[in-house]
Amino acid sequence: MDLNGAGALISGGASGLGAATARLLVERGAHVALIDLDADKANALAGELGDAAHAVPCDVTDPGEMEAAVDEAATLLGGLRLAVGCAGIGWAERTVHKRGAHSFEPYEKVIQVNLIGMFNLLRLGANAIAQSEAGQDGERGAVIMTASIAAFDGQIGQLSYSASKGGVVGMTLPAARDLAGRGVRVNTIAPGLFDTPLLAALPDDARKALGDGVPFPQRLGKPSEYAALVASIAENTMLNGETIRLDGALRMPPK
């Protein structure tokens, strides 16, 4: 896929991995729609990126809102070639602890945002991309989802998060096979420890300790490195149905 002139939709696009992806795609000549629950942040980033970016406030868990947002993005961008899912939340709680069993509502919320929200991006984004004119090799575009190494190395307290991200990994290959006839590729990135707003709340020494545990390089990942992989996946037509760990060879211990 040629990113120059391509329309790209990014959920969770106002901060963290999504914002870094938006910046790089615009640098490569793409036009982006920033789908995010935080309208103020989305509008601020769109203003920073200029005419190539549009803010589309939306709750990814709401099917109606998401369908309207994808339609709006396709209209604003003159069609879609790329959909990138970065929206997600976390939660820490053991299956059974001193206060009793794992709470139901947080588990449901994490699944709703991380898995069902990603499913909405996948199904609606792919449907919009499938309306595009086929290019080289019959390709119309690509969907790139975000999982986590927690899908494989879930730690103590990561029950809901690991389940949600494991579900994203599980959707990748069947979706790629479903969409092959329409020329739409599907891949997933499973990041390790990245310097995102979630970790920014930790003290500097705690963040350094996390980075020191990565085999190489011994630091937290940079959102720009995630964005670079998004661009590489988009541009490499042979890459399809794959989940790629982006983690510096980190394998998470139990806790």
Q: Which residues are tagged catalytic? A: 161
For the record, the structure tokens of 240 come out as 């399809």
Phi, psi for residue 92 in degrees, rounded to 5: -125, 120
DSSP assignments along 139-150, one per residue: --EEEEEE--GG
Is there a cis peptide before residue 217, judged by omega within 30 degrees of 0?
yes
Are 79 and 139 in contact, with CB atoms under 8 Å apart? Answer: no
Q: Which residues contact 238 (CB under 8 A, 6 or more apart)?
A: none
